[in-house]
Each structure stands twice: as structure tokens, then as C-alpha cells.
Amino acid sequence: NAGVTQTPKFRILKIGQSMTLQCTQDMNHNYMYWYRQDPGMGLKLIYYSVGAGITDKGEVPNGYNVSRSTTEDFPLRLELAAPSQTSVYFCASSPGRGNSPLHFGNGTRLTVT
Amino acid sequence: AQTVTQSQPEMSVQEAETVTLSCTYDTSESDYYLFWYKQPPSRQMILVIRQEAYKQQNATENRFSVNFQKAAKSFSLKISDSQLGDAAMYFCAYRPTQGGSEKLVFGKGTKLTVNP
């Protein structure tokens, strides 16, 4: 069982470039999330989705876009990359609300120079 | 907005000893869920333990237990018989049952070092 799979693991972007971080889960979870982790700052929510076709902004959505065309996939798009977007990005999924835990991917380390 | 505070950026413990990591949170809700996640150097986020606020009994998972003090809005994690593999970042997280119940709010984390 693969769980939550993120690609790529590492990426270096130049300022102004764009890219898509891929996330797929095989657990049939309705809820999916994108978090970013900056050193000493914990995890901050970028976007989340409660089902195919439904997305909503989290705490730090500026500079990012998402889509959710299928239950399995939840890609995160960075447009016009900036140094402030240098971070580790985590995708996660959850079967529901309440005490349902989040299942995380292994993260993508992104550097923008 | 709900906030989660972990006041100890770093902690250390001797192997086989016990350590307690602190977490406090701010909420006006009476029902919610609390979690502790572990992030080893591999970067993978792993659920350690969870607690429902309506349950008075503290959750326990093997060597991991919590001290949940609802009135004080405190949710500390106790690790007994610490092992080298417990070395990691530990994150406390909060999830409401009402508005925003889809989301987890995380603290900034505590880095735990286990000394042999």
C-alpha cells in the first residue's frame, strides 16, 4: 500500500519559474491537504480539499494554486516562484474529520534561487 | 483563530529515561481533537497519539502517553523508557469539531535528542 506519494523529492527553481508538485493517494480519502514547513515554524496550511472538485484556501495560499479533478490526485502549482517559497512541502490525506489522522507523504524540498 | 504553542524548541533525554514535551492551545470550543506527530530525520510525519477532548481518560500508546488538562488547555506528551529511535521533531496539533474542522493546526515543534 503506497499511501500518499509526492513527487519530486527535491527541486531547485530559478526565480520566476513555475512548477507543479504532484501528490497522489491510494486510500480513497476525501480530504487532502498541502502544508509547507519552514525551519522553526511548524507546518502551515496552503490549500485543502474535501473532495473532488472542491478546494479551499488555507493559512498561506498566496503564490499557489491547486486543483482536485479526481479523488486520488491533488497537485500544487507554483506560479512565478519566489525565494520566499523555499520550503519543504507536504501533501497529506485524511478519511474524514474528527479524530481521523492525517497521512503524510515524504515531502518535497524546494529551493528557489 | 486557534493557536498551538510548543514552548520548548529543544529537549534532550538520556536513553531509558522519561521526558515530557509541552503543548498548550488556545480555543473557545468545548469539543475538539488533539494529536502528537513525530518527524524523524527521514522527514516522514508519523502519528504518535491522539486524544478526544470529550474523553477524560488520557490516551496511551505503548511508551507514549499524554497528560490532557482541558481546563488549562494543556496537552503534554510523555515518552517513557526513551530509545534512540525516539529522536525526532515532535509536533502538537489541534483540530476543532466546528468551524475549520477539516484542518489541523500545528505547533512549531520540539526537537528531541536522545543521548546514549
Three-state secondary structure of chain A: CCCEEEECCEEEECCCCCEEEEEEECCCCCEEEEEEECCCCCEEEEEEEEECCEEEECCCCCCEEECCCCCCECCEEECCCCHHHCEEEEEEEECCCCCCCCEECCCEEEEEC
Interface membership of A39 toward B (CB under 8 Å): no
> Which DSSP symbol is given to B16?
T
The predicted structure's pLDDT at residue B1:
67
Judge whether residue B98 has pLDDT over 90.
no
| pLDDT tens figures, A28-48 | 999 999 999 998 788 999 999
The predicted structure's pLDDT at residue A99:
82
**Distance between CA atoms of A25 and A105, rounded to whole angstroms?**
9
Integer-rounded Cα radius of gyration of chain A: 13
Judge whether residue A2 has pLDDT over 70.
yes
Interface membership of B108 toward A (CB under 8 Å): yes
All cell numbers assigned to B6: 510548543
Q: What is the mean pLDDT of chain B?
A: 93
Judge whether residue B102 has pLDDT over 80.
no
Judge whether residue A52 has pLDDT over 90.
yes
Under an 8 A CB cutoff, do A97 and B102 touch?
A: yes
Interface membership of A98 toward B (CB under 8 Å): yes
Neighbours of B32 (CB within 10 A): 21
> Which DSSP symbol is given to B31?
-
B75 falls in which pLDDT band (50, 70, 90)?
very high
Judge whether residue A1 has pLDDT over 70.
no
Cα torsion at B77, B79, B84, B85 (round to 10°)?
Answer: -60
**Residue among A48, A90, A97 whose CB faces B45 most closely:** A90
Residue with cell 494529536: B35
Under an 8 A CB cutoff, do A106 and B43 touch?
A: yes
* pLDDT average, residue stretch A11-25: 97
Interface membership of B115 toward A (CB under 8 Å): no
Which residues of chain A are within 8 Å of residue B106 when distances are taken between CB atoms?
35, 42-44
B24, HSE (Cβ side, Cα atoms, 13 Å): 6
| pLDDT tens figures, A66-110 | 999 999 999 999 989 999 999 999 999 999 888 888 999 999 999
The predicted structure's pLDDT at residue A77:
97
Closest of A21, A24, A25 to residue A10, by C-alpha: A21
Interface membership of A104 toward B (CB under 8 Å): yes
